[in-house]
Amino acid sequence: MFRPEIKVLDCTIRDGGLCNDHKFSHDFVRRVFQALKNAGVDYMEIGYKSSKDQFSPDKFGPWKFCDDKDIEQVAEDCSLKISVMGDVGRFSPADVKPRSESLVNTYRIACYIKDVDKALKLTEELKAKGYETFINIMAISHALEPELDEALSQIENAKYVDGIYIVDSFGYLYSEQIHYLSEKYISTCKSKKVGIHTHNNLQLAFSNTIEGIIKGVNYLDGTIYGMGRGAGNCTTELLLSFLKNPKFNLRPILDIISSDFIDMMAKYRWGYQIPYMITGSLNKHPRSAIAVMDSKNWKNFTEFYEARIAEEDLV
């Protein structure tokens, strides 16, 4: 597949940081940056922008906060654009420098559908500071159709929003749903860039991303070796291999997988596991699966399955 409009955003450090409270060393993040730059990847999402009044730096590493001084130690101004994610209610644009004073190019605002109005306000303030802006509506598999229609219409009418993402937070969606959502997002948000972020609970992260591409989605999220909370994500190396764009070079990604990610996977245990499959198939948040994977009873799969069926749905 080759389409010059397609962009790859690697969110290894941001999504992978959920595995270790964002405590990656500066040296490791610098190596990831260099690998992605040399591979021709378009964006690197380096972490979250979070308020230190809400999250203690004693508990979380630097990529939970993405201070400019930390970013400057690992990145440089080049073809690889730096992205940061901000959760609605967890940071203030007042803490963000103007784009002219930062290496950050892009802010992606994550919200649930009930908070799209708040996300729009944040993107307006960030756009005024010079940043490219996206809205990632999380847990889209839980959104009601009228709410989604209204949210997409609001986003399309907001000139300060550059793009929107389809986000399969629970790894629940199948190809038919990806087809439907891709067409809906693209047809409603005609003036916006449309992206997709998938999780691998049902081993469909890569194939669902391809389905989005087929339907016209041009912004693709991935992580190196699939690193991410729980079941992990669509893998960057698969995307680069599939896209056939001559600007992409797979070798730097393979090298850093060999040098760093094999051992990290053994330590943090992301990727397909039965508890993550169960929460994904039931359209549930993976928090219960993550908790059981950290317990001695993680192999009691039927017991875990029965408990998830019995509990009420929680986002």
- Beta partners for 4? none
Number of CB atoms found within 10 A of residue 313's CB: 10
C-alpha distances in angstroms, 70 versus 29, 41, 103?
A: 10, 21, 11
pLDDT tens digits, one per residue of 95-117: 999 999 999 999 999 999 999 99
> Residue type at 142?
H
CATH (residue range 7-268): 3.20.20.70
DSSP 8-class letter at 176? H
Instruction: Give the tokens for residue 38.
Output: 């040399």
The DSSP secondary structure of 226-266, one letter per residue, reads G-SSTT-B-BHHHHHHHH--TT--SHHHHHHIIIIIHHHHH
**Residue recorded with tokens 């989605």:** 217
The pLDDT assigned to 231 comes to 97
Do residues 85 and 136 make contact, with C-beta atoms less than 8 angstroms apart? yes
For residues 71-77, average pLDDT: 98
The pLDDT assigned to 2 comes to 79
What SS3 state is found at 166?
Answer: strand
Cα–Cα distance, 15 to 64 (Å, whole number):
11
The pLDDT assigned to 267 comes to 95
Mean pLDDT over each residue of the chain, to the nearest integer: 96
pLDDT tens digits, one per residue of 141-191: 999 999 999 999 999 999 999 999 999 999 999 999 999 999 999 999 999
Do residues 16 and 227 make contact, with C-beta atoms less than 8 angstroms apart? yes
Beta-carbon contacts of residue 134 (< 8 Å; ≥ 6 apart): 106, 107, 108, 109, 123, 161, 162, 163, 164, 165, 193, 195, 219
Q: Which stretches of 146-218 are assigned E, i.e. beta strand? A: 163-167, 193-197
Beta-carbon contacts of residue 81 (< 8 Å; ≥ 6 apart): 42, 43, 44, 105, 106, 132
Please, what's the largest Cα pairwise distance for the chain? Answer: 54
Cα–Cα distance, 260 to 258 (Å, whole number):
6
Cα–Cα distance, 100 to 78 (Å, whole number):
14
pLDDT band with cut points at 50, 70 and 90 for residue 315: very low
**Residue recorded with tokens 């609001």:** 154
C-alpha distances in angstroms, 239 versus 46, 178, 180, 186, 233?
A: 19, 17, 22, 21, 11
* pTM for this prediction: 0.96
Instruction: Give the tokens for residue 73.
Output: 């130690």
Cα–Cα distance, 65 to 71 (Å, whole number):
10
Closest CA to 109 of 95, 91, 96: 91
Looking only at the bridges linking them, the beta strands covering 132-137 and 104-111 are: parallel
pLDDT band with cut points at 50, 70 and 90 for residue 308: very high
pLDDT tens digits, one per residue of 15-69: 999 999 999 999 999 999 999 999 999 999 999 999 999 999 999 999 999 999 9
Question: Where are the chain's structural domains?
Answer: 7-268, 274-310
Centroid of chain to Cα 239: 15
DSSP 8-class letter at 113? G
- Does the structure show a pLDDT above 70 at 314? no
